[in-house]
Structure 1
Amino acid sequence: MSRGRYEALDSDEERLPTGMERVGYDADTQTYTYRDNDGSYWEGEEGNRYGNLHRAGQRPPPATPISPQARHSDWRYLAPWFVLVVVVLLVLWRFVTWTPAPLSCGEGLENYRVAKGDTCWKIADDRGWSVDGLKEANEGLNCDKLIPGDQLCVALAT
């Protein structure tokens, strides 16, 4: 059976200072008790098996306040995620607000954007054209798949 990478460091011999031995655990206060070579007793921080030790019966030293520099350094871990979110939102915004460039139509023709309810027959009839004339001016036009926002070249309005 293979051992885990840090399994060897999971014993008191590896984790405690030389001469220190774990001798008890108080479930009520969730603190471990240790004894050193001199016979002095030490306690760990609440809920920690290893870590900072203080003499038994004495208050633990106050926690060291976090410096403003250390507090602000956490942002450098989050900054790439914020940048990624901003980029995704910008791309999404560009996709939603994107409008195609106007279609370049030949002489005597103008650009027309299909509106809701438009059909090839209606567009051609409004311009005095036939549907075949509309299809000739717009190569590959499929009247069955006409949707609002499509661009067509139509005869100039008179």
Structure 2
Amino acid sequence: MSRWSQYDTDEERLPDGMQRIGYDADTQTYTFRDTDGSTWESAPGNQYGQLHRVSSAAPHYGDDAHDATEPDASDEPVTSWRHDMMPLLNWFLLVGLFLLFIFWFIGGTTTKRVASPTTCPGSSSPYKIKLGDSCWAISEEHSITLEALRQQNQGLDCDKLAVGGTICIPGA
């Protein structure tokens, strides 16, 4: 017959001063308390075996042997939920920037440039710019030079003619 049986007690299986204080059926972990008050847990599914520390004991006040401000070497760093959610935050940031770019692109292409009505001085006549017009095509259509058209309309940008805008055509 083997040395171990179902009838072994915690006193025989656990180190001195260690006692079982709980069991979590969801995670199948046993919880134990040490003589100094620290809490330990077993591996999921194991009643005995290797234990890991869950919390350390409360500091003893007036005890000069242990400084409460000095961390134990066995304490594991505690990570918060924010650390676990950081990749998800990055994903939402990328999606947000992508949507912002899409809305900017759509909104930027649908805006129309509305030119203010122009009053033409002297013998010049107003001309309403149509789709596909260019300064060269307008000057050829009205038999004037390109320089005369630019001189009559100071600040005219021939690369950005606003459809529906008005320019002045110099008279002959």
Q: Same fold (TM over 0.5)?
A: no
TM-score by length of 1: 0.34
TM-score by length of 2: 0.32
Larger-Rg structure: 2
